[in-house]
Amino acid sequence: MSSTNAGPDVPGWETLPETVQGFLAWLEVEKGYSTATIRGYATDLRQFEAYLQSRNATLAHCAGIRAEHVRGLLARLHLQQVKKSTVGRKLSSLRAFFRYLNLKGMLSSDPLSGIRNPKQERHSPRALNVDQAAALVQAPATPDARGVRDLALAELLYGAGLRISEALALDADDVDPGAGVLRVMGKGSKERLVPIGEISAGKIKQWLTVRHELLTDPTEPALFVGTRGGRLNRRQAARIIAELAGAAGLPEKVHPHMLRGSFASHLLQAGADMRDVQELLGHECISTTQRYTSLDLQHVMKVYDRAHPLSSSGTSHRTRPDREPTSSSSAAGADEQTNEEKGE
């Protein structure tokens, strides 16, 4: 394989083995993967290459890679106490790479054959409650173009349930607030139409009127731009959401994906159909969407536990059938229910 001089926007591209360069270029051209996804593959393969070199092997000569090399990497990751989910992702990257080599006729045997992913812990996605989400998108922001941009971004993430990568990939010419829908390019270059409400449309329209104040190049296509005039990146977006959460007085660290989770959870709590939510989120499998039902169930159980007299945590409010509750116990139960309604 000849050296690939021009490829995906990956840091340290020229230091990667030619086999890896070919794989990453294939992901970009043939599979249509985003830059962020390709960089993730590059990071995982670069880490494996560093391990291989410590064992006098390299991905440049894949015929010499054996299952013991993969197990050795797993042992090192275990000693480093890397999360199982991260280990699973790295194995998935390696599997995709070796499948590519097999497809190109460059591999005689798969070194990952018989190696399974570690059993994953199941974690429910994190989400804000309705009051917290409302406080964040209405948080006090700087009275300038940057503040208008920040609130428009937050409103779009919560109001439309976009992935942060989808929101940051939007171009100004792609957005028509008056149309009530956004044309979004999701994972695997799959396009979908996402409805936006009047409030979200208003925030975007307001941002578009002042967007030029942050531009240094009038030909910049990005909808959301940073203070230097270029397309906003993930790190900047995460900082924006965290700052808005702090300004809103939220008690926990909030990241952009929590707004997407909140969007899904609140729709399900309001009685939206699972299939409709799946389509809005752009999930290929409904099992991914079903993860958010656990948030809905958690909400219901919290209300029950705090308010119902027969719940395990509500036993202190239980009274004998032939006795009226005292005023103090009745007031306590009412206070707890009121607090639940305010907090959840």
> Would you please indicate which residues are annotated as catalytic (active-site) residues?
163, 187, 257, 260, 283, 292
The distance in angstroms from the start CA to the end CA of the chain is 58
Q: Using the structure block, give the residue that is written with the tokens 């709590």.
A: 269
What are the helix and strand counts (H, E) for the chain?
14, 2
d(CA 90, CA 110) in angstroms, rounded, equals 16
- How many C-beta atoms surround the C-beta of residue 343 within 10 A? 12
Sign of CA dihedral 306, 307, 312, 313: positive
Are 187 and 260 a contacting pair, CB within 8 Å? no
Q: Which are the contacts of 126, defined by CB distance < 8 A and separation ≥ 6?
A: 258, 261
Q: Coil, strand or helix: which one is 67?
A: helix
Q: Coil, strand or helix: which one is 284?
A: coil
Find the helix or strand (DSSP H, E) in which 192 lies.
strand 191-195
Sign of CA dihedral 78, 82, 88, 89: negative
CA distances from 194 to 9, 197, 206, 232, 342 (A): 28, 10, 19, 21, 30
Are 170 and 224 a contacting pair, CB within 8 Å? yes
Are 316 and 329 a contacting pair, CB within 8 Å? yes
State the number of CA atoms in the 13 A half-sphere of 13 facing the CB: 16
